[in-house]
Amino acid sequence: MTGRILHFGPGNFHRAHQAIFTQQAGGWTITGVSLKSAETRDALAGQAFDYTLVIRDADGERMERMTVLDDILVAPENPDAVLDTLADGSVQVVTVTVTEKGYHLNANGRLNLSDPEVAADLDTDLPRTLVGYLARGLMRRQIDMAGPISVISCDNLSGNGAKLRTAVMDFAQAAGLGLTLSEATFPDTMVDRITPRAPDDLSDRVAAIDLPYAAPVVTEGFSEWVIADDFAGPRPAWETAGARLVADVAPFEARKLRMLNGAHSMLAYAGLNRGFVHVHEAVADPDLRRRCRALMQAAAGTLQGVGEDELRIYGEALIVRFDNPALQHALAQIAMDGSQKMPVRIGAVLSELAATGGDTGPHVFALAEWCRFVIGQDGTVLDDPMAERLAKAAGEGDPVSALLNVIGIGLPEVEMELVRASLRGTTDQDIKGTAI
Ligand code: CS2
């Protein structure tokens, strides 16, 4: 089987994850769509869209030549070309990695119609947002009767496929499009591969061994992809490359979001607040290591459908992955867009723990460290789509309530007070005493 995938967001994560699963499965090519900048297209065009994937873990470093990308469309240069490609019958799979903020969802998981970019897209036939492109492109496809299509979100949202489908339908309805999506499916997925920004010297190292040297990607050895077996038409044989096709992704997704991503965010804020730069340095700090384990353990208590032993082993394997010094994974990279990440990774878990009498300490601590980080920015602009509102909330008399309110985390007053107490703790001893 051969075919063509249209991928929105051909950044490092896509090029380390879905791209290699697709290359190994064989037969399919990927056309990328950059929604904003021409940077990746400009870097890769001179290499016929080949690039080098550098895999670094305890076994050392290995490099792989990637040949699966055939082109990158830069959407703002020619929006029509993107819409036409979505309506092209040769494209039967769409994949998406645009990060959490690229979906423009509100706290209820619906499309935020008052977001300025979404509102602008509702008014024009030539969109700028992912959801605008999908709604208008799939409408063209419906009119052209170009056949079934599977649209696969690969971002860290819970129920990512269902959320994307809802957002596309919300857009179509608000724009008055008669979109039915009767020939489209939106399978949920869990994606996992730690992929930091590539270090500056990586191109030179790659060039030295005569591989494509522009825009190389660095990643870890581990990778996992679990996909709901809900395809509208043909797809690459991803299972031959190690992907798992399952009836229900939810348990895998919750395990990864709550244990890996939750611990990542805690380490990012608490680590930066203590002057660490990289994940492996933060997790080597005995206190943060203990808190990391405690957070994973508490999160594991909220998970259903996965055995206790399996979760303990998974947690220990995560610590080993975080320890990987060769990745040089910057905490600042994880810390960005906290407003989009904290509700999913920490807030939802904390609410469940509070409601069921679980150990809320580690998640209370994570929220307090996020608050401390935001308050500590003081004058510098936060790397977050809600930066302005957060800066204002950080200056209020009760910054904890104000900040959590901005990002839609509502907590019982007892937990709210625990977050305030953890934030007030000026010495490490105080923080320990109140949070764990
Ligand atoms: C990280 C993720 O930056 C972040 O928010 O937590 O990108 C994480 O590295 C991946 O989800 C790992 O699969």
Pick the residue whose CA is nearest to atom 10 on ligand 1.
194
Task: Give 280 Cα–ligand 1 centroid separation in angstroms.
Answer: 14
Pick the residue whose CA is nearest to atom 13 on ligand 1.
192
279 lines ligand 1 (CB under 6 A): no
Q: In the sheet where 60-66 sits, what is the strand order?
A: 60-66, 51-57, 217-219
| Measured distance CA(334)–CA(39) in Å, rounded | 22
Task: Give 116 Cα–ligand 1 centroid separation in angstroms.
Answer: 27
| Measured distance CA(434)–CA(376) in Å, rounded | 20
333 lines ligand 1 (CB under 6 A): yes
Neighbours of 185 (CB within 10 A): 17
- For 265, residues 6+ apart whose C-beta sits below 8 A from its C-beta are 334, 335, 338, 341, 342, 345, 346, 366, 370
Give the pLDDT score at 380. 87
Query: What fold, for 250-424?
Result: N-(1-d-carboxylethyl)-l-norvaline Dehydrogenase; domain 2 (1.10.1040)
Task: Give 145 Cα–ligand 1 centroid separation in angstroms.
Answer: 38
Residue among 101, 154, 194 whose CB has most ligand 1 atoms within 8 A, to mutate: 194
Residue among 14, 97, 98, 156 whose CB has most ligand 1 atoms within 8 A, to mutate: 156
Task: Give 14 Cα–ligand 1 centroid separation in angstroms.
Answer: 12
Kindly give the interhelix angle for 413-424 and 348-356, rounded to the nearest 10 degrees: 120
Task: Give 95 Cα–ligand 1 centroid separation in angstroms.
Answer: 18
Ligand 1, closest atom to CA 333?
Answer: 3
| Measured distance CA(282)–CA(331) in Å, rounded | 8
Band of residue 425 on the pLDDT scale cut at 50, 70, 90 = confident
Pick the residue whose CA is nearest to atom 3 on ligand 1.
334
What's the mean pLDDT in 223-231?
98
Give the pLDDT score at 433. 43
| Measured distance CA(173)–CA(105) in Å, rounded | 15
Query: pLDDT tens digit string along 11-52?
Result: 999 999 999 999 999 999 999 999 999 999 999 999 999 999
| Measured distance CA(408)–CA(87) in Å, rounded | 37
| Measured distance CA(59)–CA(422) in Å, rounded | 40
Query: pLDDT tens digit string along 328-345?
Result: 999 999 999 999 999 999
Domain boundaries, given as residue ranges, for the chain: 3-246, 250-424
Whose CA is closest to 281, among 313, 327, 316?
327
Q: For residues 41, 192, 258 and 99, what is the CA-based torsion angle, rounded to 10 degrees?
A: 10
Task: Give 432 Cα–ligand 1 centroid separation in angstroms.
Answer: 26
The alpha helices in 357-398, defined as continuous H runs, are: 361-377, 387-394
Q: Residue 185 forms beta bridges with which residues?
A: 150
Write the CA distances from 151 to 113, 160, 177, 342, 373, integer angstroms: 21, 11, 19, 26, 36
Least confident range from 69-73, 292-296, 376-380, 397-401: namely 376-380
Pick the residue whose CA is nearest to atom 9 on ligand 1.
194
Whose CA is closest to 360, among 341, 347, 374?
347
Write the CA distances from 236 to 61, 240, 260, integer angstroms: 28, 9, 27
Task: Give 352 Cα–ligand 1 centroid separation in angstroms.
Answer: 22
- For 393, residues 6+ apart whose C-beta sits below 8 A from its C-beta are 374, 399, 402, 403, 405, 406
Do 3-246 and 250-424 have matching folds? no
Task: Give 17 Cα–ligand 1 centroid separation in angstroms.
Answer: 12
ipTM above 0.95, yes or no: yes
97 lines ligand 1 (CB under 6 A): no
CA atoms in the 13 A half-sphere facing the CB of 265: 30
- The answer to whether the pTM exceeds 0.90 is yes
Q: Are 189 and 244 in contact (CB under 8 A)?
A: no
Task: Give 260 Cα–ligand 1 centroid separation in angstroms.
Answer: 8
Q: How far is CA 59 from the centre of its chain?
A: 27
264 lines ligand 1 (CB under 6 A): yes
Query: pLDDT tens digit string along 345-377?
Result: 999 999 999 999 999 999 999 999 999 999 999
Write the CA distances from 20 to 65, 66, 224, 238, 242, integer angstroms: 10, 7, 11, 10, 11
Band of residue 230 on the pLDDT scale cut at 50, 70, 90 = very high
Structurally, at CATH architecture level, domain 3-246 sits in: 3-Layer(aba) Sandwich (3.40)
Give the pLDDT score at 426. 45
Residue among 98, 99, 264, 265 whose CB has most ligand 1 atoms within 8 A, to mutate: 264
Task: Give 274 Cα–ligand 1 centroid separation in angstroms.
Answer: 21
194 lines ligand 1 (CB under 6 A): yes
Band of residue 435 on the pLDDT scale cut at 50, 70, 90 = very low
Give the pLDDT score at 89. 97
Query: pLDDT tens digit string along 72-114?
Result: 999 999 999 999 999 999 999 999 999 999 999 998 999 999 9
Q: Using DSSP bridges, classify how beta strands 184-185 and 3-8 pair: parallel, antiparallel or unpaired.
A: unpaired
The region that residue 26 occupies, defined by phi over 0 for left and psi between -120 and 50 for alpha, beta otherwise, is: left
Q: Is the pLDDT of residue 297 over 90?
A: yes
Q: In the sheet where 224-228 sits, what is the strand order?
A: 189-192, 224-228, 244-246
Give the pLDDT score at 285. 98
Give the 3-state secondary structure of residue 368: helix
